[in-house]
Amino acid sequence: MSVVARVVLVVYFLEVGVLLALAPWSALWDRNYFIQAWPVIAEVAGNDYVRGAVSGLGLINLAAGCAEVIGLFRRGARPDRQPFRNP
């Protein structure tokens, strides 16, 4: 995988991780279209266990992003490609 693709992947993991970790505890979670339109979803989404599970998924995404960052730095010290040699 190219370095640019890995950097995009890191940014994606970190953004999704922060969003999923913080959104369930913000006002955005309680005031959105789906919760107001369907009361059954409001009951499920308002449950603290569901909020904690969504935040846990966010923490997993943050950990995956950090692991990719570490992998990027290690790859810089030890590149996978061999230098081109002219035969």
pLDDT tens digits, one per residue of 23-64: 999 998 888 898 889 889 989 998 999 999 999 999 999 999
Residue ranges covered by each domain of the chain: 3-23+34-77
Percent of the chain surpassing pLDDT 70: 85
CA distances from 9 to 12, 19, 65 (A): 5, 15, 8
- The pTM of the whole model exceeds 0.85: no
The set of residues, in sequence order, having a beta carbon less than 8 Å from that of 71 and lying 6+ positions away, is 6
First-to-last C-alpha distance (Å) of the chain = 26
Where are the strands (E) in 1-87, listed by range? none
Kindly report the average pLDDT of the chain as a whole number.
87
